[in-house]
Amino acid sequence: MALLSTHTIQNREELSDLAFDLAMQLQSGDIILLSGELGAGKTTLTQFLGKALGVKDLITSPTYTLIGEYQATVNPDITTLIHIDLYRTGEQGNLQPLPLNNDYIQEVLDGSTEQRAVVVIEWAELLNAKQKNRTWNIAIKPGASEDARVITVALDKEKI
């Protein structure tokens, strides 16, 4: 069973509003799986979530470090935002999977509650790990204009 909502947004500001709403519902240990094509807005949504959680640093797509860890300050229950991007965007925009070990990702996911973290994963389509924790599945699709998006948010009800 999943709780499902669909949001049609017109621009980045409305994505920011949605991210702030979502951030208020997050609990430590939550996993957020983002799917959508290149340029859909996965990183942008992650940055807005970071802002809402009090992350001061700019969240960028992990490159050399592979996994980004950011200190969050707004909600005392959530002290860290962990950002994983399963694809690296290379020159000419070609995508390459990051050399991340699946067991390592599994460890990060399984340790998220203990770490008081929320884990955001871009390109969740590629994820091969199991989620024991509460998981949000967020899909971003193109909308009717360049800046519009259709976003579905599904929350696994059994894990609430």
Binding site for ligand ADP (CB under 6 A): 9, 11-12, 15, 36, 38-44, 122, 147, 149
What 3-state class would DSSP assign to 51?
helix
Q: Which is nearer to ligand ADP, 29 or 138 (CB)?
A: 138
Other CB atoms within a 10 A radius of the CB of residue 51 amount to 17
The DSSP H or E segment spanning 33 is strand 31-35
Tell whether residue 47 is a contact of Mg ion (CB under 5 A).
Answer: no
Residue pair 35/139 in contact (Cβ under 8 Å)? The answer is: yes
Q: What angle do CA 26, 98, 122 make, to 5 degrees?
A: 25
Q: Tell me which of Mg ion, ligand ADP, none is bound by residue 3, counting a contact when its beta carbon lies within the kind-specific cut-off of 5 to 8 angstroms.
A: none
Report, in Å, the least distance between residue 113 CB and Mg ion.
Answer: 25
Tell whether residue 43 is a contact of Mg ion (CB under 5 A).
Answer: yes
β-pair partners for 138: 34, 153
Looking at 35-43, 99-107, 113-121, 134-142, which segment touches Mg ion (CB under 5 A)? 35-43
Q: How many helices (H) and strands (E) does the chain have?
A: 3, 9
Residue nearest to ligand ADP (CB): 41
Q: Which is nearer to Mg ion, 43 or 131 (CB)?
A: 43
Q: Tell me which of Mg ion, ligand ADP, none is bound by residue 149, counting a contact when its beta carbon lies within the kind-specific cut-off of 5 to 8 angstroms.
A: ligand ADP
Report, in Å, the least distance between residue 158 CB and ligand ADP.
Answer: 28
What 3-state class would DSSP assign to 125?
helix
CA distance 149 to 83: 22
Tell whether residue 42 is a contact of Mg ion (CB under 5 A).
Answer: yes
Binding residues vs Mg ion (CB under 5 A): 42-43, 122
